[in-house]
Every structure is written in structure tokens, then in C-alpha cells.
């Protein structure tokens, strides 16, 4: 595995993390552009988060297969959620260390 590939995967992982966090925070993502009609539907944000979570898990799975360390980009708790793979209400509520965290993506 070349250094360039590792850097590439780390960048993709970071992009996927930001995408998921933007979906969590109800901020604009590529999903809004792909499905503009969905915004009117009450389940929109649920779908948006599901898509972002799936993307994040896919990048993590590829990282594992390529033996690229991915946990360093996440808190210990976040890495545990990812390892369990299930997007539960707990993941949605506790992704950020505290609910009043100032670390939400901008």
C-alpha cells in the first residue's frame, strides 16, 4: 500500500465523516442536490443520515481491507459505534461527546 493510497483513503474517510456530521446537523449535503424533491418529505433527514452512515461504513470497510488505520480520525466512542455498524438512536444522540458540544461541523 503506497503512501499516496493511504493519504487518499484518509482524505475519503475525512470526507465521509464530515458528510455524516453535516447530515446529523441537518446541514446541506450532496444528497440535497441529488433528491431535491425529498426535502418536502418528513422522513428526508432520516434517509439523508442513513445514506451518509452507509458511505462512512463503506470507507471504513475498505480501509480495513487495505489495512489502513481509520480509528485515529474518530473519538473512541465514535470508533465503537462504527465498529458496531448499526446506526441507532444512541449514535445519532451521542455522536458528539456531549449534546452541547461546540465541535459541530460548520
| d(C-alpha 61, C-alpha 72), whole Å | 15
Q: Which pLDDT band holds residue 3 (cuts at 50, 70, 90)? A: confident
Counted domains in the chain:
1
What confidence category does residue 67 fall into, taking pLDDT thresholds of 50, 70 and 90?
very high
Domain membership flag for residue 46: yes
Domain membership flag for residue 76: yes
With contact defined as beta carbons under 8 Å apart, do 21 and 106 qualify?
no
Q: Could you tell me if residue 103 is inside a domain? A: no
Domain presence at residue 101: no
37, part of any domain: yes
Residue 105 has pLDDT above 90, yes or no: no
pLDDT at 95: 96
Domain that holds residue 42: 3-94
Cβ contacts of residue 29 below 8 Å, gap of 6+?
A: 19, 22, 23, 48, 52
- pTM value is 0.84
Mean pLDDT for the stretch of residues 14-32: 94
| 81, part of any domain | yes
105: in domain? no
Residue 106: inside a domain: no
For the chain, the average pLDDT equals: 89
Amino acid at each position: 500500500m503506497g503512501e499516496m493510497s493511504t493519504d487518499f483513503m484518509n482524505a475519503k474517510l475525512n470526507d465521509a465523516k464530515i458528510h455524516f456530521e453535516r447530515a446529523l446537523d441537518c446541514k446541506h449535503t450532496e444528497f440535497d442536490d441529488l433528491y431535491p424533491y425529498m426535502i418536502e418529505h418528513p422522513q428526508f433527514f432520516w434517509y439523508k443520515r442513513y445514506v451518509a452512515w452507509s458511505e462512512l461504513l463503506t470507507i471504513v470497510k475498505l480501509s480495513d481491507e487495505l489495512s489502513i488505520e481509520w480509528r485515529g480520525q474518530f473519538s473512541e466512542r465514535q470508533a465503537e459505534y462504527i465498529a458496531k455498524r448499526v446506526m441507532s438512536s444512541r449514535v445519532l444522540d451521542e455522536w458528539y461527546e456531549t449534546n452541547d458540544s461546540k465541535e459541530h461541523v460548520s
